[in-house]
């Protein structure tokens, strides 16, 4: 069953069927390159078929370890940044109760920021709770997670002793080399493998995302099945059939016309963090060589009372994709009040979802009238199947979109720029020359 549906028919005033037709060959070519693995960044195509290839044994091993952790921990501290953080958090927020302290066990993230106050508060929060840790890093030397893990490892060893701490720490890292693999061997941490041919932002359906999701109680087999079921409507050279290709084409056409920002608009707070995952996937894949759509997320109706004004009447360099959830987990109706002081009895008995749906329809029509090309992405429900399809749809789509844009959607050369500066300023060995020039620029300035 197809739980994710992209519909661009409302864009007709901004994008003709002829224009879309003209992009069909580019989509077909991009599909061919992905299948033949002869395009840019073709060392990083492992994600393409991983949901099918991963295999039952690997899934069982993840679930077994997750069950063990669930049995003894109230909290899993998940240490990671970027692709080792955003997708997992997006999945948990989408599939779990809205408030963190209703989740059992609760997954709390660390190592995604450099902040004493955050870590101090985190250790205060877990001081009376049973804790396990999942540290995720291909190399084990990325600054943010590595220094956070030093604090957390020390805390775990003080609290539980070195041996029991090791039994509560799970590493997700390179299969063979790297600092974290070495440490895991020495300390006896359980360890999962990050496939060599999958980049960080495409890793949510590897053990990187699957293990902490399983600890959070997510059915990861269902999630992977969902992703596999998306192959069908996200593949092929026909733009009618290939929904990921159609979305990629629409984005490129609009971008070429000067719509340089894409707003992903949700109508459910539970989708907020999924959009953060999408922002990395999209921005890091396409934002290079002076090109690439700027991805932004808005949470409606909240943000209709914030950036709604700008969306309606601001600069017309933005297009919008509305992510709509058809079925919520629960439902509530507006109660009838005798006094009707707020004049809202006309809504009595109607569900919040019905009202939210009318807010969505009202908004997309208003934005179209205001000059914003808008499309919809409808999700069936808050289920693993839907989420698996959604992950795969966006992964496939951004790969095609990058190829259409003629960039390498699988590298991120620009991320090194600030790191090199930071290493130089921190006095790391090997960066002495750079340091001198930078210190001159910094002096007297900050």
Residue 305 known to be catalytic = yes
Judged by beta carbon, residue 31 or residue 284, the one nearer a second copy is 284
String of contacts with a second copy for each residue 170-199, x by CB under 8 A: ---------xx-xx--x-------------
Q: Which of positions 243-262 make contact with a second copy (CB under 8 A)?
A: 260-261
Among 242, 252, 270, 408, binds a second copy (CB under 8 A): 270
- Using CB under 8 A as the binding rule, whether residue 114 contacts a second copy is answered as yes
Selecting among 284, 286, 320, 384, the annotated active-site residue is 284
Judged by beta carbon, residue 24 or residue 347, the one nearer a second copy is 347
- Using CB under 8 A as the binding rule, whether residue 335 contacts a second copy is answered as yes
| Contact range with a second copy by CB under 8 A, out of 14-22, 30-38, 66-74, 344-352 | 344-352
- Using CB under 8 A as the binding rule, whether residue 344 contacts a second copy is answered as yes
260 by Cβ neighbours in 10 Å (0-12 / 13-18 / 19+) ranks as middle
- Using CB under 8 A as the binding rule, whether residue 13 contacts a second copy is answered as no
Distance CA 294, CA 98 (A): 28
- Using CB under 8 A as the binding rule, whether residue 308 contacts a second copy is answered as yes
Distance CA 122, CA 156 (A): 13
Which strand (E) or helix (H) includes residue 436?
Answer: helix 432-442
Q: How many Cβ atoms from other residues are within 10 Å of residue 130's Cβ?
A: 14
Which residue bears the tokens 């340089």?
260
| Contact range with a second copy by CB under 8 A, out of 43-51, 55-63, 92-100, 237-245 | 92-100
Least distance to a second copy, CB of residue 103, Å: 10
- Using CB under 8 A as the binding rule, whether residue 347 contacts a second copy is answered as yes
Specify the length of the chain in residues.
Answer: 446
- Using CB under 8 A as the binding rule, whether residue 16 contacts a second copy is answered as no
Judged by beta carbon, residue 160 or residue 294, the one nearer a second copy is 294
Token pair recorded at residue 407: 């960039």
Q: What is the 3-state secondary structure (H, E, C) of 207-238?
A: HHHHHHHHHCCCCHHHHHHHHHHHCHHHCCCC
Selecting among 72, 163, 419, 420, the annotated active-site residue is 419
Residue 144 known to be catalytic = no
Least distance to a second copy, CB of residue 231, Å: 26
Distance CA 112, CA 115 (A): 9
What residues contact residue 355 under an 8 Å CB cut-off, 6+ apart? 334, 347
- Using CB under 8 A as the binding rule, whether residue 113 contacts a second copy is answered as yes
Residue 112 known to be catalytic = no
What residues contact residue 424 under an 8 Å CB cut-off, 6+ apart? 431, 432, 434, 435, 438
Distance CA 196, CA 104 (A): 32
Among 13, 25, 188, 362, binds a second copy (CB under 8 A): 362
**Sheet strand arrangement including 318-327:** 4-7, 374-381, 318-327, 261-266, 294-299
Judged by beta carbon, residue 64 or residue 100, the one nearer a second copy is 100
Least distance to a second copy, CB of residue 400, Å: 18
- Using CB under 8 A as the binding rule, whether residue 143 contacts a second copy is answered as yes
Least distance to a second copy, CB of residue 25, Å: 25
Residue 121 dihedral angles phi and psi, to the nearest 5°: -65, -40
| Contact range with a second copy by CB under 8 A, out of 18-26, 61-69, 213-221, 296-304 | 296-304
Among 33, 151, 231, 380, binds a second copy (CB under 8 A): 151
Token pair recorded at residue 269: 């707070």
Q: Which of positions 405-434 make contact with a second copy (CB under 8 A)?
A: 412-415, 417-429
Distance CA 145, CA 73 (A): 21
Distance CA 98, CA 103 (A): 9
Selecting among 9, 56, 305, 443, the annotated active-site residue is 305
Active-site residue list: 284, 305, 419
């Amino acid at each position: 069953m197809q739980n994710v549906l992209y519909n661009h028919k409302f864009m007709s005033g901004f994008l003709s069927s002829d224009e879309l037709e003209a992009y069909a060959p580019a989509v077909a070519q991009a599909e061919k390159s992905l299948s033949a693995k002869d395009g840019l960044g073709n060392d990083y195509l492992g994600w393409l078929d991983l949901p099918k290839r991963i295999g039952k044994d690997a899934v069982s091993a993840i679930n077994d370890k997750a069950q063990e952790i669930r049995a003894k921990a109230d909290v899993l501290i998940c240490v990671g940044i970027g692709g080792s953080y955003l997708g997992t958090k997006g999945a948990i927020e989408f599939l779990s109760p809205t408030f963190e302290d209703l989740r059992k066990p609760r997954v709390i993230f660390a190592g995604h920021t450099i902040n004493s106050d955050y870590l101090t508060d985190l250790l205060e929060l877990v001081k009376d709770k049973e804790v396990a840790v999942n540290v995720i890093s291909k190399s084990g030397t990325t600054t943010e997670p590595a220094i956070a893990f030093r604090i957390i490892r020390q805390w775990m060893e003080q609290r539980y002793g070195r041996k029991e701490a090791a039994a509560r720490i799970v590493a997700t890292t390179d299969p063979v080399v790297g600092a974290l693999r070495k440490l895991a061997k020495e300390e006896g941490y359980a360890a999962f493998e990050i496939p060599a041919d999958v980049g960080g932002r495409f890793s949510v359906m590897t053990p990187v995302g699957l293990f902490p999701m399983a600890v959070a109680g997510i059915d990861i087999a269902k999630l992977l099945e969902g992703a596999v079921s998306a192959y069908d409507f996200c593949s092929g050279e026909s733009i009618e059939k290939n929904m990921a290709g159609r979305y990629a084409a629409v984005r490129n056409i609009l971008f070429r016309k000067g719509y340089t920002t894409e707003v992903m608009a949700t109508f459910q707070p539970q989708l907020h963090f999924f959009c953060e995952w999408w922002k990395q996937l999209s921005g890091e894949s396409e934002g290079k060589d002076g090109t690439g759509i700027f991805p932004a997320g808005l949470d409606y109706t909240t943000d209709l009372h914030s950036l709604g004004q700008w969306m309606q009447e601001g600069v017309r360099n933005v297009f919008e994709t509305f992510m709509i959830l058809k079925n919520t987990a629960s439902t509530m109706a507006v109660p009838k009040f005798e006094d009707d002081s707020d004049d809202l009895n006309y809504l009595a008995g109607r569900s919040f979802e019905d009202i939210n749906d009318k807010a969505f329809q009202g908004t997309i029509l208003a934005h179209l009238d205001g000059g914003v090309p808008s499309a919809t992405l409808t999700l069936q429900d808050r289920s693993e199947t839907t989420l698996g399809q959604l992950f795969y749809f966006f992964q496939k789509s951004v790969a095609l979109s990058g190829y259409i844009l003629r960039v390498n959607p699988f590298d991120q050369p620009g991320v090194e720029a600030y790191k090199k500066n930071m290493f130089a300023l921190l006095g790391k060995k090997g960066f002495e020359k750079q340091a001198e020039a930078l210190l001159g620029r910094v002096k007297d300035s900050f």
